Amino acid sequence: MAEQFEIIKKALNKMLDEKKYAALRDILVVMYPSDIVELFRDVDTDRIPLLFRLLPKELAAETFVEMETEDQELLIRSFSDNELKEIVDELYVDDAADLVEEMPANVVKRILKQADPEMRRSINQILRYPENSAGSLMTTEYVSLRPDMTVEEAILRIRRQGVDKETIYTCYVTGKDRTLLGMVTVKDLLLEQDDERRIGDIMLTNLIFVNTQTDQEEVAKMLAKYSFIALPVVDGEGRMVGIVTFDDAMEVIEDETSEDIALMGGVMPSEKTYLRSTVWDLFKNRIPWLLLLMVSATFTGMIITGFEDSLAAQVALTAFIPMLMGTGGNSGSQSSVTVIRALSLDELKFSDIGRVLWKELRTSVLCGVVLAAVCFVKIWLIDRLAMGNYDITWQMDLVVCLTLAVTVVCAKLVGCSLPMVAKVCKLDPAVMASPFITTIVDALSLVVYFLFARAVLGV
């Protein structure tokens, strides 16, 4: 598939060079919007408006929606008012609202001027809802039916109104004042053998719906959980105002996951793709955590300074510091990453914290004992015998391995509990991942190390 696509890309670029626009158009019209966008990525920016004008109206609008914000802006600036109107008329309301939200003020002005009054009203309605809410994600274009319609009338209505709706497969039954009463799928309608049955009799009334204020992540999870094509959105009075469709939900889930992964890696989340991000963007997203963690490492430095005499007495102790801190950090991030993922999939609630701690305690003891045992043998065989470092006594070996076991247990308990505490404090649990936990565990492991060294070796 990927190879075929490369061939098509080359052929298209060649046609563009040779100005074979008719042939180009013939190829573009059978392509899918997301493939056209991919194609645009490898074309000189100033050629995009030219290519774009070759697309038929509907395909042009669909392609436009899939493009990145900067390319959209570029394109709008190259449009005449008439061309802009053609695209805006073809957009679904939720996509138009997204566009208005992301464009600079002067472009927004042009867009709203070209939108017809009804679309302008709908855009404004969507923009009034808080960012990342169901209200801002929804589209107002859905099929609504009345409970007293017959199946035949309902199908007729869909056939007449469906063209401009984002999905026709789930229809919503509303009463007076647009109160949401029930839901019928096109499958129900088509499979119903009696054309004269009333919609009110066949509609599903145990509805799953969300409020305009519901967070978009929750909306997306609900769509995924119930495998729905669309989810109705109601206002505070239970009136139907729009729908969120599964493709928007998939995008939300993808974005939220990217955000989680970025935070877990100690990077501020960004909406730009990697290749689109400038060096300055990357710098800005990364430097805060690096600075914070560097400065907080002052504590580990202080701990070492405090035990400087012990280290001076037994220099060989220093050689094990990286291994102890590293293993502690890894143990902690294993637990935190596992718990963070379980939290974001709603597999864990804060009330499970007791069960989690108990599970992690037993797991960590098991890991700690095995690691300590292997480490003891490794130090004796490799560090002492193979490498001839006879400064290493069995007491010292014991100190290292005791520290290792205790550190692993502490690290896992810290690693599993911090994300859960973050969740309760309404913070993103992903913040409590490796970089943060590592810093805490580093300090912990050093303190444990030196305390054991003092107790056992008397340094």
As measured in angstroms, the least distance from the Cβ of 269 to its own copies is 10
Identity of the residue, 283 or 394, whose beta carbon is nearer to its own copies in the bound complex: 283
Please tell me the count of residues contacting its own copies according to CB under 8 A: 117
Distances (CA, A) of 275 to 6, 26, 262, 271, 279: 19, 31, 15, 12, 10
Q: Which residues between 155 and 174 bind its own copies (CB under 8 A)?
A: 155, 158-159, 162-163, 168-169
Segment contacting its own copies by CB under 8 A, of 11-19, 78-86, 123-131, 253-261: 253-261
As measured in angstroms, the least distance from the Cβ of 76 to its own copies is 23
- From residue 338 to residue 357, the character string flagging contacts with its own copies as x (rule: CB under 8 A) and all else as - is xxxxx--x-xx---x--xx-
- From residue 104 to residue 143, the character string flagging contacts with its own copies as x (rule: CB under 8 A) and all else as - is ----------------------------------------
Identity of the residue, 65 or 84, whose beta carbon is nearer to its own copies in the bound complex: 65
As measured in angstroms, the least distance from the Cβ of 70 to its own copies is 15
Segment contacting its own copies by CB under 8 A, of 97-105, 111-119, 233-241, 313-321: 313-321
Going by C-alpha positions, the residue among 99, 89, 41, 31 that lies closest to residue 65 is: 99
Q: Which residues contact 371 (CB under 8 A, 6 or more apart)?
A: 327, 404, 405, 408
- From residue 365 to residue 384, the character string flagging contacts with its own copies as x (rule: CB under 8 A) and all else as - is -xx--xx--xx--x---xx-
Residues pairing with 240 in the sheet = 234
By CB under 8 A, residue 199 contacts its own copies: no
Identity of the residue, 111 or 339, whose beta carbon is nearer to its own copies in the bound complex: 339
Q: Which of 22, 105, 279, 425 binds its own copies (CB under 8 A)?
A: 279
Identity of the residue, 80 or 227, whose beta carbon is nearer to its own copies in the bound complex: 227
Going by C-alpha positions, the residue among 72, 59, 140, 142 that lies closest to residue 101 is: 72
Q: Which residues between 283 and 302 bind its own copies (CB under 8 A)?
A: 283, 286-287, 289-291, 293-295, 297-298, 300-302
| b/e map 40-78, b = 16+ CB within 10 Å | beeeeeeebeebbebbeeebbbbbbbbbbeebbbebbee
Contact 337, 438 (CB under 8 A): no
Contact 430, 264 (CB under 8 A): yes
By CB under 8 A, residue 43 contacts its own copies: no
Q: Which residues between 406 and 435 bind its own copies (CB under 8 A)?
A: 408, 433-435
* Pairs from 112-118 (Cβ < 8 Å, separation ≥ 24): 113/81, 114/81, 114/84, 114/85, 114/88, 115/88, 115/89, 116/89
Identity of the residue, 114 or 335, whose beta carbon is nearer to its own copies in the bound complex: 335
Identity of the residue, 124 or 291, whose beta carbon is nearer to its own copies in the bound complex: 291
Contact 91, 139 (CB under 8 A): no
Going by C-alpha positions, the residue among 128, 173, 166, 177 that lies closest to residue 146 is: 173
Complete edge-to-edge strand list for the sheet that includes strand 180-185: 144-145, 170-174, 180-185
